[in-house]
Amino acid sequence: MRINIIGGGPAGLYFALLMKKSDPAHVVTVYERNAPGSTFGWGVVFSDKTLSYLKETDEASYRSITDRFEMWDNVDVVHRDEKVTIRGNRFSGIARIELLHILQERCRELEVDLRFQTEVADTESLARECDLLVGADGINSTVRQAYSEFFEPDLSIRANKYIWYGTPQLFHGLTLTFHETQAGVFAAHSYKFNRTMSTFIVECDPQTWERAGFASMSEEATRDYLAGVFQRDLHGHELLSNNSKWINFVNVRNKHWSHRHLVLLGDALHTAHFSIGSGTKLALEDAIALHQCFQGGADVGAALAEFERVRKPIIEEYQAAAHESLVWFEHARDYMHLSPLPFAYKLMTRSKRIDYENLKRRDPEFIAAYEAAGS
């Protein structure tokens, strides 16, 4: 089979290497607009469940990924400068660039044709010359746009603004920090992803953003402002930019997942708010699911229909949980009157995937403290 993949992010690279590994006769080409070393962002996180899928699917890349992992089991909620720790939430972090290098290397080993610095504008010509065209080209997918009348995408732009920084301050565990300032409420999502760096995402509602005056603030002044808001948490460390800009989260859904021999994968197909840390996980799991649909000799049409049948309910469940979570962050100001323990409890149960019983199993000490506080 001849397979063209647009986008060399986690979804495109992982699908490429799996297809090539299961049948070296496939001709697999990945078209990526960026150079191999350039990437946006800092670190990404995975749950234990994703790791077990990666191990079963391709042990070689699994080993390289886990060799570079930072692992933790705590969520720390910082409110009114008080830290509440909730254990029993196992996650692992890795720099996005390291993950991409590992997947690129594995693709090369398996003789996937990687074409960097190649922007695809004409999707139809690439589609004509292959048996399967995969649009793994991220949130602003060219493939999705080119065939939008068939995929019928639904893009909803959310109100909150966020910006993605790095920092040398090490946050051991997923740390969610809240500060109420004169402008309004700021939340930071931070976690360490290697021995020297943490991801630090700052989020605020549009009213706070306006009042703080970010619309007319330079990149440097914005960084200084936010480093000031989180001064105590950063312990004097700076925020580092990597082309960091304020953005609004876009919720992506598609009514149809494939058209002819074209299919979407990863962020091009669906997004889930970063507060449940599952964008990269879903991208890799999509690749695994699509690859599985080709096992046993299914033809392209049957495999793409099967992919949508088995994967869509799982994605819809994730998106529902992610939606609850993003709505909570959009209304964070409504919870700021709570003292730290009930605030942490509300935050932990926001997506409705974790409830009282579940938290009690994960961290009985936290629940005992929460109850003792008369919550």
Does 136 engage in binding with ligand FAD (CB under 6 A)?
yes
33 part of the interface to ligand FAD, by CB under 6 A: yes
Of the candidates 44, 65, 170, 359, which one interacts with ligand FAD according to CB under 6 A? 44
Residues 263-292 that bind ligand FAD (CB under 6 A): 266-267, 274, 277-281, 283
Residues 6+ apart with CB under 8 A from 220: none
Q: Give CA–CA dist 277/271, Å, rounded.
A: 11
Nearer to ligand FAD, 47 or 64 (CB): 47
Question: Between 254 and 278, whose beta carbon lies closer to ligand FAD?
Answer: 278
Q: Based on CB atoms, which residue is closest to ligand FAD, 41 or 166? A: 41
Identified binder of ligand FAD from the candidate list 15, 151, 164, 171, rule CB under 6 A: 164
Minimum separation from the CB atom of position 32 to ligand FAD (A): 5
Stretch that binds ligand FAD, among 132-140, 253-261, 304-312, 328-336 (CB under 6 A): 132-140
Render 311-348 in DSSP notation, one character per residue.
HHHHHHHHHHHHHHHHHHHHTGGGGTTS-HHHHHHHHH
Q: Please give the size of the binding site for ligand FAD, defined by CB under 6 A.
A: 32
Is residue 166 within the footprint of ligand FAD (CB under 6 A)?
no
Residue 197 as a binder of ligand FAD (CB under 6 A): the answer is no
Largest distance between two CA atoms of the chain:
66
Helix or strand run (H / E) with residue 252: strand 247-254
User: Which of 303, 305, 285, 284 is CA-nearest to residue 295?
Assistant: 303
Residue 204 interacts with ligand FAD (CB under 6 A): yes or no: no
Using CB under 6 A as the binding rule, whether residue 32 contacts ligand FAD is answered as yes
Shortest distance (Å) from residue 284 CB to ligand FAD: 8
| Among 157, 156, 189, CA closest to 75 | 189
Do 123 and 142 touch, CB atoms closer than 8 A?
Answer: yes
Cβ neighbours of residue 122 closer than 8 Å, sequence gap 6 or more: none
**Cβ–Cβ < 8 Å for 163, 222:** yes
**Contacting residues toward ligand FAD, per CB under 6 A:** 6-12, 31-34, 41, 44-45, 119-120, 136-138, 142, 162, 164, 201, 266-267, 274, 277-281, 283
